Amino acid sequence: MMMRRLAPHGGPLPDQPAKLSRRGFLGAGAGALVLSVALPIGNARAQAARIVPGTRVSAFLEIRPDNKVMFRSPFIEGGQGIFTAMAQIVGEELDVNPAQFIVECAPPGPDYLLTMGARFTGGSMSVRMSYDTLRRLGAAARLMLIQAAAQRLGVPAASLSTKPGQVIHASSGRTLDYGAVAAAAAKLPVPSDAPLRSGADFRWIGKPVARLDVLEKSTGQARYSIDLSVEGMLHAAVQHAPRLGLEPASLTNEADVRAMPGVHSIHRLPGAVAVLANSWWRARRAVETLTVTWAEPAGAIVMPANFSSQAHRSKLKTTQGDGIAFETEGDVAAGLRGAARVVEATYEAPHLAHGQLEPPSALARFNKDGTLDLWLPNQAPEMFQAAAAKVAGLTPERVFIHSPILGGFFGRHFLYASANPFPQAILLSKAAGRPVKLIWSREEEFLRDALRPMGVARFRAGPDDAGLPVAMSAVAVGEGATGRWYGRQPGKVDSSAVEGIAGKPYAIPHRRVGQIHVDDPAVIGFWRSVGHSMNDFFYETFFDEMADAGGQDPLVLRQRLLAHSPRHLTLLDAVVDLSGGWRRGPFQATDGSRRARGVAMASPFGSEAAAIAEVSLRSGEVVVHDIWVAIDPGRIVNPAIVEAQINSAVALGLSTTLLEEVVYADGQPQARNFDGYPILPPDRMPRVHLRIIESGAAMGGIGEPGLPAVPPAVTNATSVLAGRRIRSLPLSKAGLT
């Protein structure tokens, strides 16, 4: 487990791969450390049981003689800025400028289980789950440094204070660098009562602190999993079965392929064939030259040969009933009976690919002592460790997981059976007796990505004579990603299938949200904002239909139904104000184009968000000019990173609104690269305007909450221009003129 990786410091570990360095930290010279200790390996399990996550300073922090601070982050950096946020939070209390931090993803270990008793980077949880804990950790470390300095200087600890990176004895004018007392501090017990800095005195938390990784990411120096290499490594490429569940039966040209340049060996894997070669391009060319006959094993669960997106969509839309109730208020049937009229609509959203730009890879190396090193993109090191151990036939503590930064993720790098390359890399490395780096080509990635599920929602609502809805029934049809991977309980609704239809704040007296489970034949997974990515689209666009049916302006109706909630009213006021005042349109813009605006709200991942989009149509194509977003995450750590994340969420949300749809036919995805699965290009990116509201409510998430309101805001505006309601995404299929 982690202990082996944590010590000794200051020099390469004996089995450290030749070409890999612990970025920036190796080469620091012997005796560099440290606020760091190692657990004796034999006691690992016993010790692990006693560890309270987030409290053992030595598991997180190393302070070097040059005052650089290395922080082992429980969370992985994949563009969301978490490494910088960690440095801000810990640095604020430790009293070290975040710019002095070097942050790496921590190895598996009990210290890092800060996400509801487990550990993953997802659910927009990283900061909100660890903020208090990591402030206390930084404060405890600062106190240890003060105590060590007090011993060194022979003065009472109470006479000492700190300034960034130094302990100060004000009365004598003496100072000690943190790096000079770090080794002594490491021997002290971790205090549990270290004082926290007052929020009024924050220098870095809440400020637009520069990201730690921008220069290296602007100069090609940042290293992702796909970039790594170790001594003696072979390159691997695979050809997957065209349909999941098929197995390689015969290879007709094996000898020819074996004779191709650089080819080392050919391998059969579960559901795939692989070639090992001395470069990836040679491996890829060889594996794609292989002529493979695929067989359908008896009794195996496979992607059906007749599966098509169109047929599945029809199935979801024609599945009748009200499903299992998830959220109920009042009596919907009675409410609808008493309504002046009933408005009904069915909405749908397609499967989506993650499309992160770094194709998945895994680098596996078995060591002489039988242990396994694995470098791979992942959002949950302990879960990958356990899964890799099973594949390798080892106990988990003999598998060392290394988690390089991610070239985008959006939910792609959770553990999904059949969608992660690491089991193949392990099997190939074992077979070849050499380290193996496997990269999935973009085409193989499109074939095996774990998709955002397809979903359908049916709504019925009844406005009264005044146009106010008295009742609403919503039924979500499909399957949620959480139930797929973490166990679905029969008779119980998977909340990831209904979030964004359920949990809405509008005061409608009679309402019911139900769900009908229908197995999704595709491999489905978590995709940025999960259920919210489609469900808020369903609900918030139906909301405008409901408003229209009752003769209400959609913004005014939202305000009326939120009269009980000052937080939501404030948010709506903010987004309206930011956009220069509400006007739905159609109206003529100064450039002569005919435009409309749409508004939508969402309550995802502990935050509240509202968006307004301004849209025109040009030759049947939706042009989005501006998107205004107001977000209330309670409190924030870095406004610049929040702004970047909102830009990012708007881009991804808009990409799905305008363009994205994974289409299956004959059991196979029709697009295997970005030529067939277009994603938002730069010339379709709108201006993005943001207002952050720090209401002081419990801290919410940032990475995902900017997304869900975007598709409905854009679609609501588009429906105004089209003169008809659009109930399906993407808009490229809407037949607009």
- Contacts with another protein by CB under 8 A lie at 78-81, 210-211, 213-224, 226-227, 229, 235, 261, 279-282, 355-359, 405-410, 439, 441-443, 640, 644, 647-652, 655, 673-675, 679-683, 685, 687-688
Handedness of CA 477, 481, 485, 488 (dihedral sign): negative
Pick the closer one to another protein by CB: 312 or 437.
Answer: 437
Q: Of 568, 646, 582, whose CA–CA distance to 612 is shortest?
A: 582
Pick the closer one to another protein by CB: 235 or 517.
Answer: 235
Using a 10 angstrom Cβ sphere, with 0-12 exposed, 13-18 middle and 19 or more buried, the burial of residue 414 is: buried
Pick the closer one to another protein by CB: 4 or 223.
Answer: 223
Pick the closer one to another protein by CB: 445 or 479.
Answer: 445
Total number of residues shown for the chain:
737
Q: How far is the CB of 231 from another protein (least distance, A)?
A: 13
Q: How far is the CB of 629 from another protein (least distance, A)?
A: 13
Q: DSSP class of residue 126?
A: H
Q: How far is the CB of 410 from another protein (least distance, A)?
A: 8
What contacts 398, CB < 8 A, 6 or more positions away? 370, 371, 372, 389
Quote the strand ranges of 633-677, DSSP E: 664-665, 668-669
| Token pair belonging to 261 | 């340049």
Q: How far is the CB of 306 from another protein (least distance, A)?
A: 29
| Token pair belonging to 294 | 């695929």
What contacts 526, CB < 8 A, 6 or more positions away? 122, 411, 414, 450, 481, 482, 496
Tell me the CA distances in angstroms from 115 to 46, 132, 360, 636, 715, one per residue in order.
22, 13, 24, 18, 35
Beta bridge partners of 324: 515
Residue 557 to residue 552: CA distance in whole angstroms: 6
Using a 10 angstrom Cβ sphere, with 0-12 exposed, 13-18 middle and 19 or more buried, the burial of residue 14 is: exposed
Tokens 């930011």 sit on residue: 578
Q: How far is the CB of 523 from another protein (least distance, A)?
A: 20
Pick the closer one to another protein by CB: 120 or 280.
Answer: 280
Q: Are 83 and 45 in contact (CB under 8 A)?
A: no
Residue 453 to residue 639: CA distance in whole angstroms: 32
Q: How far is the CB of 226 from another protein (least distance, A)?
A: 7
Q: How far is the CB of 660 from another protein (least distance, A)?
A: 11
Tokens 């098509």 sit on residue: 308
Q: Are 178 and 63 in contact (CB under 8 A)?
A: yes
Pick the closer one to another protein by CB: 131 or 674.
Answer: 674
Pick the closer one to another protein by CB: 679 or 697.
Answer: 679
Pick the closer one to another protein by CB: 506 or 677.
Answer: 677
Q: How far is the CB of 282 from another protein (least distance, A)?
A: 8
Pick the closer one to another protein by CB: 261 or 321.
Answer: 261
Q: How far is the CB of 442 from another protein (least distance, A)?
A: 5
Helix or strand run (H / E) with residue 556: helix 554-561
